[in-house]
Chains A and B, each alone.
Chain A
Amino acid sequence: MILEPINVANTTGKKKPISWSKLCAYAILSLGGIIMVIPFLWTVAASFKTYSDLFYNPYRLIPTEWTWTNYVDVFRQVPFHLYFLNTIKITAASTLGVLVTSALAAYAFARLEFPGRDFLFMGYLATMMIPRQITLVPTFVLMRWLGLLDTHASLILPGLFSAYGTFLLRQFFLTIPTELEEAATIDGCGYIRRFSTIILPLSKPALATLGIFIMMQVWNDFLYPMVFIQSDELRTLTLGLSIFRGDVDIQWNLLMAATTLSIVPMVIAFLSAQRFFVEGIALTGLKG
């Protein structure tokens, strides 16, 4: 849209429909795009190369002979399928948990009046910026005291609550007209029915956005699994991958196969629900 005056100038002055500045924009964006894609391409390429092929032709994109054995070997050397299942389990539980607790609390903050509501909400706002790294040590002590170290519960439980999620959903619920609920109240609907039959169905986009945002965070989390999980069979993908790196004495072909495996689910999720990923990010960036 900023380019419009130049286009006007072009049509009156020159005959070329595409301006130089636009060509430059395409060139720069394409160059940047290539830089974004190359590490992925080379990673996937390396994952299909044999060890000697990778050693003698490290810069070739296309393998001289394609091989699946790296992928087989990854599963043979470490329980990678368990890493997958563990990550799926923890991600699903945390995401669902955050959605439920945040939506319930957001409804209370947005629609119900009770003493201390604004005070509590300010408390939530105040802690929104506090990083989890600061609460890590006491959380570890608490989990140790509860006997939950080296269990998936130690990763899921702290993730069940999100001040940010509550804030985001509250803001969304406030945009839903109250008249809808007033009509339902006259029909004798209680709070739970109004919440579940009016507010929730209307909030699907907001719930999806928050859900995807939380899912991405939990799936890619590294610090908490590293602190709380010891047993090999309980590891998540990120943790398993980082430890596998040390175990295989950097056989890049194997490591790149494992890396590819760990990225693929998130990339597929992103490509199929792109809108929600992008909206989630845009919202987190514009809060405040």
Chain B
Amino acid sequence: MTEPGSNVKVAVTIANKRIARYPFVSTLSGGERVSRRKINRKETIAGYLFLAPNMVGFLVFMVFPLVGSLLLSFSHWNLIQSPTFAGLDNYRQLFENPLFWQSLKNTAYFAFVGVPLQIILGLFLAVLLYSNIKGLEFFRTVYFLPVVSSTVAVSLMWQWLFDSHTGLLNHVLGWFGINPVPWLVSPKWAMPSVILVALWKGIGYNMVIFLAALKGVPEHLYESARIDGANRWQQFWNITFPMISPSTFFVTITSIINSFQVFDVTTVLTGGGPANATHTIVMMIYQYAFDFFRMGYASSIAYVLFGIVLIFTLLQLYFSKKWVHY
């Protein structure tokens, strides 16, 4: 019976490696990793039974679609005839399709302009709220209302505010002598409008995450800084900012990943227009799969999106290992 023992050793090494990689896990799994119980048949069966319902879902709705999508991306299939092998044809066509590059550009615009604004404003509001403000809960509630509302509803509300003729937004701008802005009807203004709505909807979310991160900064650091005569600005840059940088980085990466999946807001607010100025990658997946019934082509778009998500996930893993402030 040498095998079970070595298995446990392997498991322990894996566990230790994992702990090195995910410090969050290590703080929680203390007693569990040193247990050297022999693998017990009854426990094994129980383990698989407990896991089974979830595992079925995991296999059917995660592993199968991931593999299926990859295989489909190398084939032509219109749902009626049987699929035919296409090699890299879908990818070749995709990279020659100007709409793809346009959608990729729009999606990147949405992500790389929208996310920094979300992060900076979310952090700014969180810092303001955290500085002994009375009514923290009230403000948090107010800023969080758009977060719990559906993107569809929020987009409809804003569509009305953006209206060129009866919209409140241009009316208010008029008070300050600003000419009406063609929010949703000009290709130049459509994406900024979409970003504005996403910012309005998402800022409370970021604020709450940063509030949680700020609570994790030990108070004694500020005390010693004050003794050294650091002003608030210096305290922020030398204590707060480095201490919350892992959260900031994590939120930035996940927000970018989420932004690359933008679909609801552009579909309802602009329908991808005008002149495809707000057409996004996921809208393209939807369009090619369910309007044109090109399942293979749509899957190749999905895999390009998967590649983008993967790059950011790996960046996340790489940098979170390097960060020492955990």
Contacts and interface: CB of A to CB of B under 8 A. Distances in A.
Interface stretch (B94-102, B185-193, B295-303): B295-303
Contact of A163 (B58, B250, B290, B299): B58
A137 B261 CA distance: 15
A270 B63 CA distance: 34
Nearest to B68: A138
Contact of A137 (B35, B43, B250, B302): B302
Contact of B289 (A22, A120, A140): A140
A134 B69 contact: yes
Contact of A282 (B46, B127, B208, B295): B208
A257 to B, nearest CB: 11
User: Chain B interface residue count: which class?
Assistant: 35 or more
A130 B306 contact: yes
Nearest to A220: B150
A278 interface: yes
Nearest to B235: A2
A180 to B, nearest CB: 12
B18 interface: yes
Interface in B35-49: 35, 37, 39-40, 43-44, 46-48
Given A133-B285, A267-B148, A288-B250, A142 B60 contact: yes
Interface of A: 1-6, 21-22, 25-26, 28-29, 32-33, 35-40, 42-43, 46, 54-55, 58-59, 100-102, 104-105, 107-110, 112-115, 117-118, 120, 122-124, 127, 129-131, 133-142, 144, 157-158, 160-161, 163, 166, 171, 174-175, 178, 191, 195, 216, 219-220, 222-223, 226-227, 237-238, 241-242, 245, 252, 255-256, 259, 262-263, 266-267, 269-271, 274, 277-278, 281-282, 285-288
Interface of B: 7, 11, 14-15, 18, 22, 24-25, 28-29, 31-32, 35, 37, 39-40, 43-44, 46-48, 50-51, 53-58, 60-66, 68-69, 72, 79, 125, 127-133, 137, 139-154, 156-158, 160-161, 166-168, 171, 200, 203-206, 208-209, 211-213, 219, 222, 226, 232, 235-236, 240, 247, 250-251, 254, 257-258, 261, 263-264, 267-268, 282, 285-286, 289-290, 295, 298-299, 302-303, 305-306, 309, 313, 316, 320
28 contacts: A1-B222, A3-B232, A22-B131, A28-B125, A36-B145, A36-B146, A58-B166, A101-B54, A104-B50, A133-B282, A134-B69, A136-B285, A137-B69, A138-B68, A140-B289, A157-B61, A178-B31, A220-B149, A220-B151, A222-B264, A223-B282, A241-B150, A242-B267, A255-B156, A270-B144, A278-B208, A282-B208, A285-B251
